[in-house]
Amino acid sequence: MLTRIKDLAANLAPRLIEIRRHLHSHPELSGQEFQTAAYVAGVLSSCGLQVKEGVGKVGVVAELVGAGMDSRLLAIRTDMDALPISERTGLEFASRQPGVMHACGHDVHTTVGLGTAMILSQLGQPLPGNVRFLFQSAEETAQGARWMVQDGAMEKVTGIFSVHVFPTIPAGVIGVRYGALTAAADDLEITILGESGHGARPHEAVDAVWIAAQVITTLQQAISRTHNPLRPVVLTIGQISGGRAPNVIADQVKLLGTVRSLHPETGGALPNWIERIVASVCQPYGARYQINYRRGVPSVQNNMAMTQLIESAAEEAWGSQGVQIIHEPSLGAEDFSVYLQYAPGSMFRLGVGFRDRHNYPLHHPQFEVDESAIVTGVVTLAYAACKYWQQSEHLLHA
Ligand code: NI
């Protein structure tokens, strides 16, 4: 089976690079991936899959029907959106859309998803059960996965795989992580409400700027003293606004931030914890406050058995030098976690780094990928999919 998959992938390689370059030069922003979705649907239809467009707003869902011997349904999820970045790679297939760029590799993800669909539909024998391919919109804004789920994309799904490119892992290597891969990411908005007054007579006013400064300092200090250091939390205030003039005491300051955590209990307790700190700073000075805490996406928790499938597929395909076990989670966020609320799954990292030159990070205007990684990703994913039905059932719900 592996030899067949590798042969198919080698034959498809030029076509896959062509697809990836087409997607790369025609990037679309989150929620507006209309042309990308139509292109994806066209490729999937030509593979003989049952294709549905407009799922999760702009997403595409396609089902590869198996032999019906096993009712377990495997989903393979990729994302299609690009970023509001002006590309500076100088590549001949660089973005033709001013100010929009595939700088997070979602063009590669989409290509790997399509390549996997092509291979699994050309195996010459049906798989024991069905495979559902999910091409979601709007991952960068953390909305697309919820839209897909609301439209029933996870109905009957019993396991799910996904992939994200990683420039610090060289092409040809698959990064595998057991347990937490990414963090929960929530949005925080704190408004400090003081009392305006003359800058020369602070005692007659309540200075919202001074109190906001203390709120920020106290939050950062209290995090290190009141949270278990082995359970990471990051709170970043990235935007601050308030005040009207240098000699007028500000009556209102708004703080906007992001809060990241890995452990569900830690994350669950954060809104109350933040409120306690803010109240303790505001109350002695007569300031009021409003806190708006919005839950974003949960942490991606990779399932043990599903991750093992990826690891063994990659190891059989590429040898032990083709697999890198990732020992640390990231505090980045990924809305793949939304699907994991419905079925166990695993997201792996696809190395796309060049071995002989500098690799720019994700979201950088000069971000590039070593395209040989596409075949590595397609073979790994297709082979892991083939192994899915060989797992005994109880393991996959551990
Ligand atoms: Ni991304």
pLDDT in tens, 18-41: 999 999 999 999 999 999 999 999
Q: Is the pLDDT of residue 396 over 90?
A: no
393 is catalytic: no
Q: Domains, the chain, ranges and CATH? A: 2-182+299-396 (3.40.630.10), 184-297 (3.30.70.360)
pLDDT tier, 114 (very low <50, low <70, confident <90, very high otherwise): very high
Which pair of tokens denotes residue 15? Answer: 């076509």
Q: Is the pLDDT of residue 395 over 90?
A: no
Q: Is the pLDDT of residue 367 over 90?
A: yes
Mean pLDDT within 175-191 = 97
What is the structure's pLDDT at 264?
86
- With pLDDT > 90 as the criterion, what percentage of the chain qualifies? 97
Of the candidates 33, 81, 207, 368, the residue annotated as catalytic is 81
Of the candidates 33, 87, 107, 139, the residue annotated as catalytic is 139
Mean of pLDDT over the chain: 96
Q: Is the pLDDT of residue 1 over 50?
A: yes
Q: How far apart are CA 50 and CA 229, in angstroms?
A: 49
Mean pLDDT within 178-202 = 96
105 alpha carbon to ligand 1 midpoint, in Å? 6
Q: Rounded to two decimals, what is the model's pTM?
A: 0.90
112 alpha carbon to ligand 1 midpoint, in Å? 14
Q: Is the pLDDT of residue 394 over 60?
A: no
pLDDT tier, 359 (very low <50, low <70, confident <90, very high otherwise): very high
Report helix, strand or coil for 240: strand
24 alpha carbon to ligand 1 midpoint, in Å? 14
99 alpha carbon to ligand 1 midpoint, in Å? 17
DSSP of 173-219, one letter per residue?
A: -EEE--EE-S-EEEEEEEEEE-B-EETT-GGGSB-HHHHHHHHHHHH
pLDDT tier, 391 (very low <50, low <70, confident <90, very high otherwise): confident
77 alpha carbon to ligand 1 midpoint, in Å? 13
What is the structure's pLDDT at 398?
44
Question: How many H-runs (helices) and E-runs (strands) does the chain carry?
Answer: 9, 16
251 is catalytic: no
245 alpha carbon to ligand 1 midpoint, in Å? 41
Give the contacts of 314 (CB within 8 A, at least 6 positions apart). 174, 176, 322, 323, 348, 380, 384
